[in-house]
Every structure is written in structure tokens, then in C-alpha cells.
């Protein structure tokens, strides 16, 4: 149960644009264990989506390029695999759910065909069996009248339904890792909860590990086992959910947690993290959070802090504040 299924080591994914090099993911390392839900949090543009695309091998090249690091999936480096080998893994062992269900399905092809297509490439089932399995899967993700729905087109469905279809597509081959990139951002609040419940339920049922990417801390609090916090392309803190929410260390994480509204305390003023995310093209040499940090010290401006391990349970933080404790 506790085997590491995916391990990312020092991943660097850069985008070489006309304006300069964007270090979308810069030296990020974390791992996902079998069957767990790992939350990846951060503001938009902090590199969470690029991380997931890097795992899938779907970073658009050019302008994007993976400049270094390793992505070990069951011990094998995905970055060293050929496109053919990757195609075997994609959709079969690693699958993905996207943020925008409205555009993520092929508009001119039937739902059932689009789901069955996964089986065409990853199994030897004949056409009829594939269709039957697709229908079964549509039923499993909670869509009524699956036979009829399989024959309909994406535009005949709501966003929530489409997202369920994409989940069906992602889970039909019982993957070891499911990447859910902001799966609920584009949906109504009521649907959001349903979709997350579905993901959680299927995570139990299929024992797939889930990399849940979101900017919404409440989604993480409810669903994830462990959390990785990213800021400006860098990992700033990582811990299990309880530790992170009870005992955040990095000033950014603290700020994030303080900015969640608490039900029943309407008069409590919400915390604001002042300032804006620095431009990823010419990052200052020091801590990327320096210009917004309330606890910034002198050396933060010019010296990028190392990642420090705070305890034996994998609570990591990238901040100068904790350097002393660590070394002594």
C-alpha cells in the first residue's frame, strides 16, 4: 500500500518565449504513494498545471522544454522514454482529467466512441465489447440512461456531465495514477462537490493514486492525504494534510490558510497576501516570495532558501526562517 508510485526529482520545465525564459517549474521534487491523494496547491500560474503536463509528457514543445530532473514512474524515468512507450502508459497507467470539460471532448464524435477509443489502444477487446465497457463506465460515473448517453454528442451535455465522461475515460483502464488538474474549477459549486465525491469514491474503488491539483484549499482539506504547496514555480512547503493545516511553516502557506473564510465568523476580517506574484521571466535571485513576505529578512532578498526537512514525517519547507533549527 505504501509503495511510491511516482517520484519527481528536481524537475525543471522551462518555456522559451519571445519575452524570455519562463521557469514554470523550477527544481520541484515530490512523490506520490500508491492509492493516496496528493494535493498540489498554488495560485494560478505557479506551475501546477505544467507539472502535471510534464508527468504526462504533454508539455507543448516548443516553446516548452523539460530542462532537467527525473520523473520516476514505478521506478522508470518517464522523461527517458520514447513517445511510443509513453503512449502505452498514457490513458492506461497514468490518466488525466482536465480543467475545462466544455472543450476537452471532441465535438464531432459520440461520447461512447470517445471512451471506447481508450480501450482500442490499450486492450484487445473487439468493437462490441469496447462499447459495452464504455456504457458500463458511463453508468459507473453516475450518469442515468448510459446506453442513450453513449450515443449522444458532447454539446448535448452539461459541464458536470462532461466532466463525469472525462473521469470515465480516465478510469476505464484502472490506472495507477490519476492526475486531476483543477477538475472542478469550471463547474458550479453544487456540481463541484459531486465531482470530488466521485473522484474520491473511485479512488477508493480502483485504488488509483490521485494527484489533485487545485487553488482551492478547502478542496485539499476535504480530499487530500498529503499536500504540496507551490509558489512561482518552486515547491515551498509539503506535509500531510493535518500537519499543514494545523502547523503551517512557510509564511506563504500561513497567509493562504489565514485567507480562507471561516463559517460562523462573519465579522472576522480576512487576511490578504499583499502584492503580486513576481514575473517568472526575470525572477529575483532570492526567495520568490520575498516581495510579499511579512517575515522577510535581509538575506531573503539575495539568497534562495534550501528545502529543509522539519521532521521525520516529510514536512518540508523552503524558508530561511527555519534554517537555524535545522542545523542545530
Partner 1 sequence: MIHYIIRRTIYLIPILLGAAMIFFLIFNVVGGQDRYLYNMLPKKVRTADQIEVYRHKYGLDKPLVAQYLDYVKQMVTFNFGKSESRKLPVTRLIKRMVPVSAALTFPAFTMEIIISLVLAALCAFFRGRFIDKLLTILSVIGMSISMLVLIMVGQYFLSYRLHLFPISGWQRGIYAVRYLMLPWLLWVTVSVGYDIRFFRTALLEEVHKDYIRTARAKGLNETTIMFRHVLKNAMIPILTYVVIQIPFLLTGSIMLERFFSIPGIGSLMVTAIFNYDLPVLKAIVMVYTLFFVVFSLLTDILYAFVDPRIRLS
Partner 2 sequence: MLEKTVSTSYREGKSPFTLSMLRLWRNRLAMAALLVVILYILLALMGELNIFHIKDMASNNNFDLRYMKPFTHIEHLFGTDNFGRDVLSRAIMGTKISLFLGFVSGLLMIPIAIFFGSLSGYYSGWFDDVAMYIMSVIVAIPGMLIILSLIQVAGRSFFIIAFAFAVTGWVGLARVIRGSFMQAKEFEYVLAAKNLGAGDFRIIFRHILPNVFHFIIVRFVLNFVGVIKSEVFLAYVGLSIIGVPTWGTMLDDSKLELMSGNWQNLIAATLFMFLFLVSLNIFGDALRDSLDPKLKNVV
The site for partner 2 (CB under 8 A) is made up of 18, 62-63, 275, 278-279, 281-284, 290-291, 293-294, 296
Q: Which of 31, 33, 182 has its CA nearest to residue 97?
A: 182
Our CB check for partner 1 shows the closer of 3 and 158 to be: 158
Q: How far is the CB of 118 from partner 1 (least distance, A)?
A: 5
Our CB check for partner 2 shows the closer of 22 and 169 to be: 22
> Applying CB under 8 A, which part among 19-27, 70-78, 83-91, 302-310 lies near partner 1?
83-91
Residues of span 209-248 touching partner 1 by CB under 8 A? none
Our CB check for partner 1 shows the closer of 164 and 226 to be: 164
Choose, by CB under 8 A, the member of 10, 44, 103, 174 that binds partner 1: 103
> Do the beta carbons of residue 252 and residue 273 sit within 8 Å?
yes
Q: Which of 251, 225, 227 has its CA nearest to residue 318?
A: 251
Residue 112 binds partner 1, judged by CB under 8 A: no
Residues of span 122-161 touching partner 1 by CB under 8 A? 122, 153, 155
CB atoms within 10 A of CB 226: 24
Helix (H) or strand (E) holding 160: helix 159-171
Our CB check for partner 2 shows the closer of 260 and 285 to be: 285
Eight-class DSSP state of 293: -
Cα–Cα distance for residue pair 211/7, rounded to 1 Å: 12
Cα–Cα distance for residue pair 237/253, rounded to 1 Å: 7
Our CB check for partner 1 shows the closer of 148 and 242 to be: 148
Question: Any residues with CB less than 8 A from the CB of 105 and at least 6 apart, and which?
Answer: 111, 114, 154, 162, 165, 166
Cα–Cα distance for residue pair 102/109, rounded to 1 Å: 14
Biggest CA–CA distance in the chain, Å, is 67
Q: How far is the CB of 103 from partner 2 (least distance, A)?
A: 14
> Do the beta carbons of residue 186 and residue 161 sit within 8 Å?
no
Residue 89 binds partner 1, judged by CB under 8 A: yes
Kindly compute the dihedral angle of the four CA atoms of residues 168, 170, 173, 175, in this order, to the nearest 10 degrees.
-130
- Partners of residue 227 on adjacent β-strands: 39, 239
Query: Taking CB within 5 to 8 Å according to partner kind, which of partner 1, partner 2, none is near residue 290?
Result: partner 2
The three cell numbers of residue 193 are: 462537490
Our CB check for partner 2 shows the closer of 17 and 205 to be: 17
Residue 98 binds partner 1, judged by CB under 8 A: yes
> Applying CB under 8 A, which part among 103-111, 128-136, 272-280, 300-308 lies near partner 1?
103-111
Q: How far is the CB of 93 from partner 2 (least distance, A)?
A: 29
Q: Where on the chain is the footprint of partner 1 (CB under 8 A)?
A: 56, 58, 62, 83-84, 87-92, 95-96, 98, 100, 103-109, 117-118, 121-122, 153, 155, 166, 169-170
Amino acid at each position: 500500500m505504501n509503495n511510491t508510485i511516482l517520484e519527481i526529482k528536481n524537475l525543471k520545465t522551462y518555456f522559451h518565449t519571445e519575452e524570455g525564459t519562463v521557469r514554470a517549474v523550477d527544481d520541484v521534487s515530490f512523490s506520490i504513494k500508491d492509492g493516496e491523494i496528493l494535493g498540489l496547491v498554488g495560485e494560478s500560474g505557479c506551475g501546477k498545471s505544467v507539472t502535471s503536463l510534464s508527468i504526462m509528457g504533454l508539455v507543448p514543445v516548443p516553446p516548452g522544454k523539460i530542462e532537467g530532473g527525473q520523473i520516476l514512474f514505478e521506478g522508470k524515468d518517464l522523461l527517458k522514454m520514447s513517445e511510443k512507450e509513453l503512449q502505452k502508459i498514457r490513458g492506461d497507467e497514468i490518466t488525466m482529467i482536465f480543467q475545462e470539460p466544455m472543450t476537452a471532448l471532441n465535438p464531432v464524435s459520440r461520447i461512447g466512441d470517445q471512451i471506447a477509443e481508450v480501450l482500442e489502444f490499450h486492450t484487445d477487446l473487439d468493437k462490441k465489447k469496447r462499447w459495452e465497457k464504455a456504457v458500463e463506465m458511463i453508468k459507473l460515473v453516475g450518469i442515468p440512461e448510459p446506453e442513450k448517453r453513449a450515443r449522444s454528442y458532447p454539446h448535448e451535455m452539461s459541464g458536470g456531465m462532461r466532466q463525469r465522461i472525462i473521469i470515465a475515460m480516465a478510469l476505464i483502464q484502472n490506472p495507477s495514477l490519476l492526475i486531476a488538474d483543477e477538475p472542478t474549477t469550471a463547474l458550479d459549486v453544487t456540481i463541484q462537490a459531486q465531482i470530488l465525491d466521485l473522484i474520491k469514491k473511485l479512488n477508493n474503488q480502483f485504488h488509483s493514486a490521485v494527484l489533485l491539483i487545485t487553488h482551492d484549499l478547502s478542496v485539499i482539506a476535504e480530499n487530500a492525504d498529503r499536500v504540496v504547496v507551490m509558489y512561482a514555480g518552486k515547491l515551498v512547503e509539503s506535509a500531510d494534510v493535518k500537519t499543514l493545516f494545523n502547523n503551517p511553516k512557510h509564511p506563504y502557506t500561513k497567509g493562504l490558510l489565514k485567507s480562507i473564510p471561516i463559517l460562523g465568523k462573519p465579522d472576522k476580517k480576512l487576511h490578504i497576501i499583499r502584492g503580486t506574484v513576481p514575473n517568472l521571466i526575470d525572477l529575483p535571485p532570492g526567495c520568490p516570495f520575498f516581495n510579499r513576505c511579512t517575515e522577510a529578512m535581509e538575506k531573503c532578498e539575495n539568497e534562495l532558501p534550501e528545502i529543509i526537512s522539519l521532521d521525520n514525517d516529510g514536512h518540508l519547507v523552503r524558508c530561511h526562517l527555519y534554517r537555524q533549527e535545522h542545523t542545530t
